[in-house]
Amino acid sequence: MKLIFLLIVGIILYFIARNYKTEKFENIKLDIKERFDGDLMNHEAGLLVALMAKVAKADGQVCELEAEMLKHTFTDISRHFENQEEIREKLKQIYAKEKESFDNTIEICDKLYKVTKNHYQKRVKIIEYLLNLAFIDKDFSQTEFMIAEDIANALKIKRADFENLVNRFENFYRQQKENQALSLEKAYVILESNENDDNNTLKKNYRKLVKQHHPDIVSGQGASQSIIDEATSKLQEINEAYEIIKKHRGI
């Protein structure tokens, strides 16, 4: 059980490190493999994946980011077992089965609570991981909140701890959205355009700026190396701005 606890922490850190900062963990060792031949629904690994299935399907669909996270989770968990291919396949089967219904959610939580009864912080980390999965598409629906809340209650997570985790994720993604909006606004400024310009106007402005700042053209005008370097940097900025706007507009 100690191994799976450390594994869960490792998985949390792996995904959260990409987009979400949490406290630092040290001395995590995952160099010991266990062999498990029993029913994974009596093991922390299987119970975690079962709850992931409930959360992932709470809003009726599994987005690309959720699917990618699930795929890596199956791999990361199974590679810490001697019989990893067998474990990975069983985890996939558990996920496929458990995503079909929410009826046994509390029953699964009760099992997980029994095997983690003396490890409150472990259960908090499990909730944190499940919330990370729910928030990963940047749309934490009311249904996802209700499922997460039910799981937290069944795992006997203190209300204050649950709300603190939800608030941390909400604040993080709110800040990320604000930063994205600022980046988009700046991109329009760089392209000497505005959000009301149609795609053709945007493209014309982009081409005009490329011609104006292309290092080959600047070099051909007899500019000094410092000006050429400045033009190269400016062109990169123009290209990045254009890509941001294209991605936002879906063009």
* Cβ atoms within 10 Å of 150's Cβ, excluding its own: 15
The Cα–Cα gap between 61 and 59 comes to: 6
Q: Name which residue leads in pLDDT, 50 or 237.
A: 50
Instruction: Encode pLDDT of 35-45 as tens digits.
Output: 888 899 999 99
Query: Which sequence spans correspond to the domains of the chain?
Result: 2-157, 180-249
Q: Residue 238 phi/psi, 5° resolution?
A: -65, -45
Contact, 46 vs 94, CB < 8 A? yes
The SS3 of residue 20 is: coil
CA distances from 25 to 5, 28, 127, 198, 199 (A): 13, 7, 17, 49, 47
Average pLDDT over all residues of the chain: 84
Q: Name which residue leads in pLDDT, 250 or 229.
A: 250
**2-157 placed in CATH 1.10.3680:** yes
| Percentage of the chain lying above the pLDDT 70 cut | 87
The SS3 of residue 76 is: helix
Instruction: Encode pLDDT of 95-124 as tens digits.
Output: 999 999 999 999 999 999 999 999 999 999
Q: Does position 144 have pLDDT exceeding 90, yes or no?
A: yes
Q: Does position 18 have pLDDT exceeding 50, yes or no?
A: no
Q: 188 forms bridges with which residues in the sheet?
A: none
> How buried is residue 228: exposed, middle or buried, by Cβ count under 10 Å (0-12/13-18/19+)?
middle
For domain 180-249, give the fold: Helix Hairpins (1.10.287)
pTM exceeds 0.85: no
* Cβ atoms within 10 Å of 140's Cβ, excluding its own: 19
Q: What's the sign of the alpha-carbon dihedral 208, 212, 214, 217?
A: positive
59-62 contacts at long range (C-beta below 8 A, 24 or more positions apart)? 59/139, 59/141, 59/143, 59/144, 60/143, 62/99
String of DSSP letters for 103-150:
TTHHHHHHHHHHHTTT-HHHHHHHHHHHHHHHHTTS---HHHHHHHHH
Given this model, what pLDDT does residue 32 score? 62
The Cα–Cα gap between 8 and 132 comes to: 13
Contact, 56 vs 144, CB < 8 A? no
